[in-house]
Structure 1
Amino acid sequence: MIEEGGADGVVDEPLSTAEVAQRLRASGALDELFAQIDRGQLPLTGDGGLVPGLIKAALERGLQAELSDHLGYDKGDPQARLFPNSRNGSTPKTVSSQVGPVDLDIPRDRAGSFTPRLVPQGSRRLGGLDEIIVSLYAGGMTLRDIQHHLAATVGTELSHETISKICDEVLDAVTEWQHRPLEALYPVIYLDALIVKVRDGGHVRNRAAHIAVGVDMNGVKRVLGIWIQASEGAKFWASVCAELANRGVRDVLIVCCDGLTGFPEAVAATWPLATVQTCVVHLIRQAMRFVGYGDRRAVAAALKPIYQAPDEDAARVELDAFADSELGRRYPTTAAAFQRSWDRFTPFLAFPPALRKVIYTTNAIESLNYQLRKIIKNRGHFPNDLAAVKLLWLAICNIEDKRAADRAKEAGRGRREKRQAEGRLVEGQVTTNWKQALAQLSLVYPDRIEPHL
């Protein structure tokens, strides 16, 4: 950004970088540089590149300005000898940047009291490089992959330990996020887990990463926390619910989970009035586990009247009809799966259609887990639980940023044009038809909802 003075002495609006580049190009000042780039005589990035050279010139000019401000006079000032402190040469220093290494001459003063702010003492990287490293790590690249990528693309060589320390700098943010205060009421909470591999001594073991997503009173879905445990179990989920309560969650209307045995009791220990709903998608998947491939489509169609029934009694009639049908007799385990989970499957049938769509499945977490699995599958395993939580948190932030960027690009689309970018997977996405669902919740739970409206 630069400013130009008008004919009347009034300073015009500052030019953007794009406008400055356009004016330089139009003036012909860049023609020789472009010709050298075209002939391969001048690289853009890396050692000896044009961009690192420009960065070096800009930084050294800024450092000289800082020193002049510190000493009280400009370089070459004839009155310099009247000041108690003076310039004393420079010290060479190489810093890593987004475009390659930059060799700088850091100016010094005789008193040794000058502390540069533009390139702080002890700093070996310019701003922006750390963000690139964290972004690559969040995208699923290993530390050694990042090390090779930076060396191959921008010529910046950083040690494995340095990259590890850069990624560890987010741990404070992870800890703060994991312990942040929560709202007193979440009408709906989804609970699910995915498997990650973590080193335990001399072995690599499967561990369950438990994730909770809550829908707040505005219908916005938010990831409430990530917890690592040896296996997914009702006892551990009970401790998760207790921690959420300690962080401020006083009441939950409906908890949607995957039908784990003992889950209702685990939830009731913290929120005794909460309704526990087994995910219908999980139940259907379990019911069709032993169904032959050729019959899967027919069985799926035959199960629809059960979970689309107007009430529990009608659903029972449809289940009995399926059990007595030819498909039911051929696959008795399918009907048995519904019968075993009947008490945890039927709660959503007592609600109107708009609310059913909100609580019948944990797909809000399933879609998130699908994205997370794509990122962690390249990792092999994690050295410890904290490393797994760190990557999952970074991955969630990365997923959200990509969705937000996609939607920003399409912000100018007309209403008639089909929207291409996906909505946010979790945090920031408003639940479909939430106003209608909240109105129905207010009728079912008036005493618990109204204090929070």
Structure 2
Amino acid sequence: MSNATLRKNQKNQLNNTGINQQKLRAFAGELAKDIHTQDDLADLSASLVKMTIEAALGAEMEHHLGYPKYGQNGNESNASNNARNGYYSKIVKGNHGEVELAIPRDRNANFEPAIIEKGQTRLGAFDNQILSLYAKGMSTRDIVTTFKEMYDADISATLVSNVTQAVITQATEWRNRPLDEIYPIVYLDGIVIKVRQDKQIIKKTMYIALGVNLEGKKECLGLWLSKNESSKFWLGVLNDIANRGVKDILIASVDGLTGFPEAINAVFPQADVQLCIVHMVRNSLKYVGYKEHKNVASDLKQIYQSITEEEALLALDEFEYKWDTQFPSIAKSWRRNWDNVATLFAYPEAIRKAIYTTNAIESLNSMIRKSIKNRKIFNHDNSAFKVVFLAIEAASKKWTMPIRNWSQAMNQFIILHEDRLKDYV
């Protein structure tokens, strides 16, 4: 039986025993009588952590030796004649500050506890707390100060850097992981950040690909950082996705990023490209005055809410006739991008709702922006990757359900793209 299994069995036994639960409640009631201040509570918490870990270490030693404390260590159960050999003191840091533990030793010096490994100086939750604060945009210096104020624990900036540096390994593995062979929808967008490079502060864009898999669940496919956006750059992004196993994309929903339609069709020639309508409208209204804003927005709605492409083109003609004198650039923009706007009208209502806007990726971007808003400038590319990756990890924990109306949309996809989906559904 492994140490992990041993601890799991002990926990299950505790949870399933009513008497133990009653004893725990009674014990907690007795302890509560001595709690009068926040400091009393903190001291109690640290003491409970100490007692719990030391009890678990004792159970691990018992399992290691094969006999209980004060029991007999006969030759049959302990052929090596190993035995307990006292304790050594070790200080570990945790959310309750510093805790001094008594770590048991064995005579043969081959006992390796699992709950507190050799060389470990922090509890697991402690590292998670550091990463959580880092993901929220706090700097290394801020985290050091926060732990001193909240837990009275002295940690160094080097310790925080070492904990967060491990994220780069995770992020690298994540960015190179295999992907599904087909995604019905892929949204693509970017967030501008500032990074120090060659003694200068330059603007770069962190590009994010968010896929919707066959189950209708969101999945971030990758991150790419670039100073300049171009068809060549987007070709590299799409080739990276293809090299990791993606064979087909049904619809790519984007916000008008330069060079993307050409790049995606070069790698996935059957993919339809849909420009985000919300971005189109937003860009159209950018230079419209307050008085005309409502009327222009209403007339644009007649275009993108049309039932057919013919009806939409007629609405565009009417819009152009009415507003071209005041705002000539609006109709020109819609006509220039029409090939990638009209994709919308090739699909039924259920699918239109899914590709109508890039809101799915914009909600992710919102979480990322919250994480980076306190970071005015990143010291290097890896620092940006760490923060954004942690924000995505936090967001992905909520992606447990399919997007809205997915079952209806998927039924339509199967009918429209039967030949492309037949091997997958």
Query: Shared fold by TM > 0.5?
Result: yes
- The one of 295, 299, 317 aligned to 2:292: 295
Q: Which amino acid aligns with 1:275?
A: D
Find the residue that maps to 1:277 and give its secondary structure: strand
Are 1:383 and 2:355 counterparts? no
* Structure-2 separation of matches of 1:41 and 1:190: 48
SS of the equivalent of 2:362 reads helix
Matches within 5 A, 1:161-240: 161-240=158-237
Alignment of 1:285 with 2:292, yes or no, is no
Residues 195 and 381 in structure 2, CA contact (< 8 A), matched pair in contact too? yes
Show the counterpart of 2:421: 449
Counterpart CA distance in 2 for 1:240 and 1:447 is 26
Task: Check conservation: 2:192, 2:206, Cα contact below 8 A.
Answer: yes
How far the C-alpha of 1:56 sits from its partner, in A, is: 2.7
CA distance 1:172–1:440, change in 2 (3 Å)? same
Distance of aligned partners of 1:312 and 1:378 in 2 relative to their CA distance in 1, 3 Å threshold:
same
Mapping 1:291-370, distance limit 5 Å: 291-325=288-322, 327-370=323-366
Q: Are 1:91 and 2:88 counterparts?
A: yes
> 1:62-102: CA deviations, max 9, x gaps?
5456556666777677999xx97666554332111221111
> Hey, what does 1:433 align to over in structure 2?
405
C-alpha deviations, 1:401-438, integer Å up to 9, x for none?
A: 4x4xxxxxxxxxxxxxxxxxxxxxxx434132222222
Distance (Å, rounded) in 2 between the aligned partners of 1:55 and 1:221: 38
Deviations 1:179-201 (A, max 9, x none): 22112111211111111222213
Change (3 A) 1:13 1:269: closer
Which whole-Å CA distance do the structure 1 matches of 2:390 and 2:217 have between them?
20
CA spacing shift, 1:44–1:323, aligned 2, 3 Å: same
2: CA distance between counterparts of 1:356 and 1:282? Answer: 16
Whole-Å Cα distance in 1 between the matches of residues 100 and 401 of structure 2? 46
The alpha-carbon distance between structure 1 residues 430 and 17, as it changes in their structure 2 partners (threshold 3 A), is farther
- 1:50 aligned to which of 40, 44, 49: 44
**Aligned ranges for residues 12-27 of structure 1 at < 5 Å?**
13-15=16-18, 19-25=22-28
Measure how far apart 1:358 and its partner are: 1.6
C-alpha distance in 1 between matches for 2:184 and 2:310: 26
Tell me: CA distance 1:21–1:295, structure 2 relative to 1, closer, same or farther (3 Å).
farther
C-alpha distance 290-120 of structure 1, shift in aligned 2 (>3 A)? same
So what's the TM-score if we normalise by structure 1? Answer: 0.81
Measure, in 2, the Cα distance between the counterparts of 1:176 and 1:16.
46
Q: 1:248 to 1:143 in 2, by over 3 A?
A: same
* Structure 1: tracts of 5 or more residues without a match: 5-11, 404-426
SS at match of 1:451: coil
8 Å Cα contact 2:212/2:219 also seen in 1: yes
TM-superposed CA distance for 1:299, in Å, is 0.8
Equivalent residue number for residue 398 of structure 1? 394
Q: Distance in 2 between matches of 1:63 and 1:437?
A: 54
Q: 1:371 aligns with which of 351, 359, 367?
A: 367
Q: How many residues are treated as equivalent by the alignment?
A: 411
SS in 1 for 2:274: strand
CA distance in 1, matches of 2:362, 2:96: 38
In structure 2, the CA distance between the partners of 1:118 and 1:287, relative to structure 1 (3 Å rule), is closer
Contact 2:234 2:259 in 1 (8 A): no
CA distance in 1, matches of 2:20, 2:386: 36
1:7 corresponds in structure 2 to none
- The DSSP-based 3-state class of the residue aligned with 2:377 is coil
Equivalence map 1:97-136=2 (5 Å): 97-108=94-105, 112-136=109-133
Deviation string, structure 1 residues 104-159 (Cα, Å, up to 9, x no partner): 23344566454444432211112321122222222222222222111111111111
Q: Is the 8 A contact 1:234 1:260 kept in 2?
A: no
RMSD: 2.9
Render the CA deviation track for 1:190-215: whole Å, top value 9, x for unaligned. 11111122221312221111111112
Structure 2, unmatched stretches of 5+, are 1-10, 75-79
The percentage of counterpart residues that share the same residue type is 39
Q: Which piece of structure 1 moves more, 84-93 or 154-163?
A: 84-93
- Contact kept, 8 Å, 1:139 with 1:398, in 2: the verdict is no
Q: Which moved more, 1:70-79 or 1:221-230?
A: 70-79
Give 1:360 deviation, angstroms: 2.5
- Cα distance in structure 2, aligned partners of 1:41 and 1:234: 59
Q: Measure the CA separation in 2 of the matches of 1:392 and 1:69.
A: 43
Name which of structure 1's ranges 201-210 and 118-127 shifts more when overlaid on structure 2: 118-127
- Counterpart CA distance in 2 for 1:110 and 1:100 is 31
